[in-house]
Amino acid sequence: MDPRRPLIAVMTGAGISTASGIPDYRGPRGVWRQDPTAEQLVTVGPYLADGDVRRRAWLMRREIGAHAARPNAGHLALAELERSGLPVRVLTQNVDGLHQRSGLPAHKVIELHGTAAQVRCVGCGARSTMAEALDRVTAGEEDPPCSACGGVLRPCTVMFGEPLDSTVIAQAEAVAQACDVFIAVGSSLQVYPAAALPLIAREGGARLTIVNAEPTPYDELAVEVIREPISTALPALVRRLIADATGATGQA
């Protein structure tokens, strides 16, 4: 690889989307800090077994409004980084689709935990949009069944208690192994196997930077740890990366 064009891998967690109005799980004001029982709403066993859990989950999805959220300055900064011409891959734990909506090409975003933009039936596999399902909830269906077979509908996300797609995690690991710079943004780095990606990158010789409000298990391995708000820290970091690359190539 051309040393003047380092491959930059950016792993993003829930913290990057909080400024878009989507709460995180483990942060100081996270969903689970406010209501520890909310973990059941995104855990596959309770979700499939308990209609009351599903009803609460549908209400949570409607209230959070991730389908209507807009990219914030952090998302837009990564889109700017990609437009600069530097090789960039985003490995996201988020399911909100905000990276793609910010202008990042879809093929440069690896969604580790799937997407919340669609729902599927656990019985027949039929798919529809999350927006359609939430419209049904708003119309009075507390736990909308599959329109095709009456089965249970669930989001097209990896819920807690489920393994990540082996092909997706293999792609992410390959990026982590190949990158020169690895930036972890807004992630507690506690959920595996995704949380192992910074270590894979570091062992491969990449420079590790962590942007997160609270300490992570990998802070001591990082060359830089940034505690400032992501919506301001990430744009500044991106500007620095672009400036460094421009200076290295001698471009104006």
pLDDT tens digits, one per residue of 213-238? 999 999 999 999 999 999 999 999 99
Catalytic residue at 107? no
pLDDT tens digits, one per residue of 15-68? 999 998 887 655 555 555 566 677 889 899 999 999 999 999 999 888 876 667
DSSP secondary structure string, 217-252? TTGGG-SEEE-S-HHHHHHHHHHHHHHHHHHHHT--
Active-site annotation holder among 67, 75, 99, 113? 113
Structurally, at CATH architecture level, domain 1-21+71-113+163-252 sits in: 3-Layer(aba) Sandwich (3.40)
Amino acid at 207: R
Q: Using omega within 30 degrees of 0 as the cis cutoff, is the peptide bond preceding 193 cis?
A: yes
Assigned CATH for 23-64+114-157: 3.30.1600.10
Hey, what are 245's tokens? 């690359």
The C-alpha atoms of residue 64 and residue 24 are separated, in whole angstroms, by: 11
Q: What pLDDT score was predicted for residue 2?
A: 47
Please tell me if the domain spanning 1-21+71-113+163-252 has the same topology as the one spanning 23-64+114-157. Answer: no
Q: What pLDDT score was predicted for residue 26?
A: 54
Average pLDDT (94-108) is 95
Domain residue spans in the chain? 1-21+71-113+163-252, 23-64+114-157
Lowest mean pLDDT: which of 58-67, 78-87, 95-104, 191-200?
58-67
Q: What pLDDT score was predicted for residue 36?
A: 65
Residue 249 pLDDT level (bands cut at 50, 70, 90): very low
